A and B are shown apart, each in its own frame.
Chain A
Amino acid sequence: MLKRKHYLALGAVTLVTALVLSLPSRAVSHLKLGIGGLFLPLFGAANAARQLPDRAAYALLTRSELLKEIETLQNENQRLKVQNSQAAATARENDQLRALVGWQRQQPWKLKLASVVLRDPANWWRTIQIDLGKRDGLVENLPVLTSDGLVGRVSSVGYTRSQVVLIGDPRCRVSARVVNPAHDMGVISPGEPLENSLVNLVYLSGNANLKSGQEVVTSGEGGIFPAGIPIGLIAENARPVESGISAETRVKLSANLGALDQVWVLFQ
């Protein structure tokens, strides 16, 4: 038998839920970031705890191992400097040719490094939170990537942290192009919940001739992702759908979404 206090509790919970669910999206976004801010002190503690084994390992390294690592890094630095000067020369040549043909000069990408502070606790979304926000100049829909390839896009921005919706989430669809002679175009859409590294490439033309191992990059269509960011590799041959009108296949992502520690936010 329900008592008065039970009715009161039932009414209060229903009222709070209805109130929060009916708030305008802007207010919800602010409220969400405000409530999420309560966890900020714990983020720092968790990061410190994660770095502790690394620091302990560094402390245990011998002097000879450290010297060897320094030498390797110096060699790699030299190699990257040479590659950078070659790339700069190529970029200059590209600019001159663009000027001759009359094409618009392509702006170089501006990147900002961000640390991943947490992942979505729900199993039915693929999002992460990063430690950059409005104070760092972030706005919604900026592309996020690693050195391996595309990761996703910024979906909401707080003052000190932002939410990134990962590629493979239903809310992150990407217009993609296959690097093959036909330049087949399609849309990256979610895969299976358990397969973190595989997504579907859908809306390909019915006669698309795809082979596994071909590279897939962003097409630049859609206005969010610039063209040419690596997404992944074709994992299997295209299969026809809708009586052969279109085709779809699966793509193995280049970026390892299951082990993201640091990502780059791309400012265009």
Chain B
Amino acid sequence: MILILAAAFLAVFAEAAFQLPRHLFGAQVDLLPALMIYAALNTNVATVSLLAVAGGLWFDALSANPLGVSILPLFAVGFPICLRRDLILRELPFAQIVLGAAASAAVPVLGVLLLLTGGQEPLLGWGSLWQWLVMIAGGAAATPVIFALFDWCHHSLGYQPQTETSFRPDREIRRGRK
């Protein structure tokens, strides 16, 4: 859980501090939906909730969004996946990409709908469609990378499962003369 929250914190900071995707493609890629997919498929509902609340608040604190408006879109994506994760082939990169794309498509749309419902006037136009596509593509590409990174972290930092040997001393055949 701590690792996921730390990753969310760094992801939000990176989105605000580094502008390469914005300069190259005209839009910033949001990594929180991809992280939410990982959390929903590999952790429990408490982590999903905490990621939605903390990630949403961090994102809104650095943005001009009203504080708290990004929590519900993240949770709305993570919660159903967490409930139905037994039906998803989470190990397959293709499944990760599709889920990452779907989450990256849904989160900004839900966020903008909430903003419009709240009487805000976000900057929208035909160019927003391109920005949405960039966010979907970026999120889809980031999701398997995030899975691979967390797998590597667990492999490096976690305890390795102890492999059982077939050797049993009580069944040892004693050879030779007494």
Residues of A within 8 A of B (CB): 2, 5-6, 9-10, 12-14, 16-17, 20-21, 23, 28, 31-33, 35-36, 38-39, 42-43, 46, 117-127, 129, 155, 163, 165, 168-171, 190-195, 258
Contacts and interface: CB of A to CB of B under 8 A. Distances in A.
27 contacts: A6-B45, A6-B79, A9-B45, A9-B48, A10-B79, A14-B72, A17-B68, A17-B71, A17-B72, A21-B118, A32-B61, A38-B9, A39-B12, A42-B10, A120-B63, A121-B12, A121-B15, A122-B65, A122-B122, A124-B122, A125-B63, A125-B65, A125-B122, A126-B123, A190-B123, A193-B131, A194-B125
B86 to A, nearest CB: 12
B104 to A, nearest CB: 12
Contacts of B67: 20-21, 23, 28, 31-32, 35
B148 interface: no
A170 B121 contact: yes
B152 interface: no
B61 A13 contact: no
Nearest to A43: B17
B28 A121 contact: yes
B42 interface: no
Interface of B: 9-10, 12-13, 15-19, 22-23, 26-28, 30, 45-46, 48-49, 52-53, 56-69, 71-72, 75, 79, 83, 108, 111-112, 115, 118, 121-128, 130-131, 135
Contacts of A6: 45, 79, 83
B89 to A, nearest CB: 22
Contact of B62 (A36, A126, A169): A36
Secondary structure call for the A interface: mixed
B69 A21 contact: yes
A192 B121 CA distance: 14
Contacts of B128: 123-124, 193
B124 A193 contact: yes
Given A20-B68, A118-B17, A119-B19, A39 B48 contact: no
Contacts of A126: 123
Nearest to B27: A123
Specify which of B57, B64, B122 lies most central, judged by the most chain A CB atoms within 10 Å of its CB: B64
A35 B27 CA distance: 24
A107 to B, nearest CB: 31
A124 B16 contact: no
Nearest to B48: A9
A120 B62 contact: yes
B127 A192 contact: yes
B147 to A, nearest CB: 22
Contact of A20 (B18, B57, B123, B127): B57
A195 B127 contact: yes
B62 A121 contact: yes
A35 B61 contact: yes
